[in-house]
Homo-oligomer: A and B are copies of this chain.
Amino acid sequence: MKYKNFMPCALDMAKLAFERGEVPVGAVIVKDGEIIASAHNETESSNNASHHAEILAIERACRKLNNKYLIGCDLFVTLEPCAMCAGAIINVKLNRVYIGAEDKLCGAAGGKVNLFEKGLFNHTPEVYFGFSADECSRLLKDFFAQKR
């Protein structure tokens, strides 16, 4: 299976979040070269601070595959996952995680803590940084600048 970069699709979700007044983070889950789920942050519209893009994408992907695990699936996300999302990624056994912007304050893929350290838990995804990092980061900066 040839690698394909789905970060532009995750970025489209992040831009949609921005338009809707949500923190602009987007995520897509890919299996066999096809997007099976996509989501953006919905903490405002759903009134739940745990409704991050990754959690919602995982929810949709499990429902789509009718499987409790997402083995063999990859996640593209515009911002480094927080501890909750990194833990969910581990729990559903996602294969690879492609990350846009780093998060030095809350990131759990090395930014603040590293929950993906090999051997720490019973599953460790492969993690890749630097996918459209500048664009992912700029979107967040523009959003918070506008909020102030």
Known: A68-B49, A88-B84. A112 touches B122 (CB 8 A): no
Which label, helix, strand, loop or mixed, suits the secondary structure of the A interface?
loop
- In angstroms, how far is the closest chain B Cβ from the Cβ of A80? 13
> How far is B43's CA from A55's CA once the two chains are assembled, in angstroms?
15
- Sample of 18 more A-B contacts, CB < 8 Å, known A84-B90, A106-B122: A47-B63, A47-B66, A47-B68, A48-B63, A49-B62, A49-B93, A50-B59, A50-B62, A50-B88, A50-B92, A82-B87, A83-B108, A83-B121, A84-B85, A84-B86, A84-B87, A84-B91, A113-B113
How many copies of this chain? 2
**What chain B residues lie within 8 Å of A44 (beta carbons)?**
68
Interface residues of A, Cβ cutoff 8 Å to B = 43-44, 46-50, 52, 55, 58-59, 62-63, 66-69, 82-88, 90-93, 105-106, 108, 112-113, 115, 120-122
